[in-house]
Amino acid sequence: MRYLALATDYDGTLATHGQVSEEILESVKRFKESGRKIILVTGRELNELRRDFSQIEVFDCIVAENGALIYDPATKEEFLLGASPPEVFVERLKSQNIEPLSVGRVIVATWEPNETKVLEAIKDLGLELQVIFNKGAVMVLPSGINKAAGLKAALDKMGFSPHNVIGVGDAENDHAFLDLCELSVAVANALPMVKERVDWVTENSRGEGVAELIDHLLESDLAELSTQIKRHDLTLGTKDDQSPVQIHPYGTSILLAGMSGGGKSTLASAILESLTEQGYQFCIIDPEGDYENFEGAFILGNTQQAPNIDEVISLLKQQPEQNVVVNLLAVKLEDRPAFFMKLWPLLLEMRSSLGRPHWIVIDEAHHLLPTSWEPSSMTLPKSLDGVMLITVHPDHVALPALSLIDTLLVVGKEPRRTLDAFCQTVGYCPPESTIPETLEQGNSLAWFRKTEEEPFCFKINPPRFEKVRHRRKYAKGELGDDKCFFFRGAENKLNLKAQNLIMFTQIAEGVDDDTWLYHLQQQDYSRWFREAIKDEDLATETSEIEDNSDLSANQSRDRIKDLIEERYTLPA
């Protein structure tokens, strides 16, 4: 199973006029019986939800107050992601007779047109609070808290990666958590701008749309959508015509083969780097210590100490984005296949329960999966989804594993010889094509066996570890106050601080259109990218958006966010 959890909004999505029908509730229960989890992500306060929906125990987890509160129905435990609303702020709103006014554990909520008084109070009191709009509702939360932050915290507690979650919603405050999920869905009654940004739109509205989604999910795990969704694809390089060479992160198995010194490590590192940037978890089985300096992964084992299998599994389970390199240098050469055969079924078992590690990379595959290997039905699945075998000798790799490979990547000298070794072993050859006598360093030959496309050559995207380190600072780090971006608006009503690019995009999602357009027209965004982030290309392209007066607030906001996501490692 690819999708192990469903995260759904409540009002306007699962519920109609605040109520969930028995038919929809039965659909939810049927979903849970499949072994999957269901998570409610709502702007409502918990007590209000209990009042309208008495069966909240049907959910495995509830993210309430627009991401500020996490509730476990099984244990009755509550976890807060933010501080209680400042009393002085609440009293200010009450003194102005703002109605309706609701004060939760973290959230303060009212309705339009009270947003003007709310913004004035935030400014006058000098508070670092953000305002989020939702179909007329006005919600006030600590900066950086939204449905995405709440869902991510809930998934971490449950041990799930967002890459194994489907999100479904209907309104503007759902954008953030829908973007976080591997597959985003809007019910038919959703706002037009929500429908434009998701991967799929149901034919039915509200709860019936959720039930429709559940039916498709239980029937096929939504495999029919996998080739349509390109936003998660991994880019390996470019063809001569500059078109990208991409692979799907799910349902793909790779054999990376070629002579020593041909560039296998370069291409493998480029693939692993792309997985890291997208937040997919991987485990590398490293017999020769080739990845002991790989950035972005925890190394277990060294030349003196063999890795502990229980520690490998424990570390992978603890954090969905924690990658692990299993260094086998301290394991005797003849004992390495046996070590791998103990680890392999545990990795597959973890995949069946948690959906990860998303990728298992087996270096020196001819040593760990030799031709003498005869797997049982328990040790070799029907497909090798998310597996990359790396070897000098494809013909020395066990046939049961080799025959499941659907993507062949060849590097180095004599690519025809490597391709022939694979074909002779599996008994299948590609369509007729011209194979070069040798491949220059930095180039590869690709053959996608699922298609009728002939093998072709492409230029590999070189690893960018130094560049990634530099960019991670600006994406996730803490910039000094003198380099932060402050959303203030034309009359300085706000004081929302973005100390990095992730915070910038999150605040931008919730800020009102007037504030967003004010900074856009002042060209404050391109100026910040140029002077504080020090990204001239990003600043130049942003400036072009700022100069385009035909764009609406939402269009310009989306385009600038897309520019940032193309360059920086943001949450997936």
Domain CATH for 176? 3.40.50.1000
- Let me know whether 202 and 347 are in one domain: no
Asked if residue 498 is part of any domain, the answer here is yes
- Let me know whether 361 and 253 are in one domain: yes
Q: How many domains does the chain have?
A: 4
- Let me know whether 56 and 177 are in one domain: yes
- Let me know whether 425 and 498 are in one domain: no
Mean local confidence (pLDDT), 168-194: 95
Select, from the ranges 91-105, 361-375, 430-444, the one with the highest average predicted confidence (pLDDT): 91-105
- Let me know whether 266 and 245 are in one domain: yes
- Let me know whether 255 and 194 are in one domain: no
**What angle is formed at CA 380 by the lines to CA 256 and CA 415, rounded to 5 degrees?**
20
- Let me know whether 295 and 204 are in one domain: no
Which pLDDT tens digit goes with each residue over 76-110?
999 999 999 999 999 999 999 999 999 999 999 99
Asked if residue 82 is part of any domain, the answer here is no
Domain of 174 in residue numbering reads as 5-75+147-225
Local structure of residue 11 (DSSP, 8 states): B
Note the pLDDT of residue 544: 94
Q: Which of 463, 478, 498 is the last residue of a domain?
A: 463
Asked if residue 248 is part of any domain, the answer here is yes
- Residue 388, beta-bridge partner list: 254, 361
Asked if residue 298 is part of any domain, the answer here is yes
Assign residue 137 the CATH number of its domain. Answer: 3.90.1070
Which strands make up the sheet holding 324-327, listed edge to edge? 244-247, 234-238, 456-460, 443-448, 407-411, 253-258, 387-391, 359-362, 282-286, 324-327, 298-300
Note the pLDDT of residue 535: 82
Asked if residue 533 is part of any domain, the answer here is yes
Local structure of residue 302 (DSSP, 8 states): -
Q: Which of 428, 447, 463 is the last residue of a domain?
A: 463
- Let me know whether 208 and 255 are in one domain: no
- Let me know whether 123 and 247 are in one domain: no
Asked if residue 81 is part of any domain, the answer here is no
Q: Which of 188, 207, 225 is the last residue of a domain?
A: 225
Asked if residue 572 is part of any domain, the answer here is no
Asked if residue 540 is part of any domain, the answer here is yes
Local structure of residue 172 (DSSP, 8 states): G
The percent of residues above 70 in pLDDT, for the chain, comes to: 96
Which of 127-141, 325-339, 377-391 is the least confident region?
377-391
Instruction: Give the span between the Cα atoms of 212 and 545, in whole angstroms.
Output: 38
Note the pLDDT of residue 569: 53
- Let me know whether 254 and 163 are in one domain: no
Which pLDDT tens digit goes with each residue over 280-330?
999 999 998 888 778 779 999 998 999 999 999 999 999 898 999 999 999
- Let me know whether 294 and 415 are in one domain: yes
Q: Which uninterrupted H or E stretch holds 336?
A: helix 336-354
- Let me know whether 487 and 339 are in one domain: no
Find all residues with CB under 8 Å of 138, minimum gap 6, and list them. 109, 110, 111, 112, 114, 115, 118, 131, 132
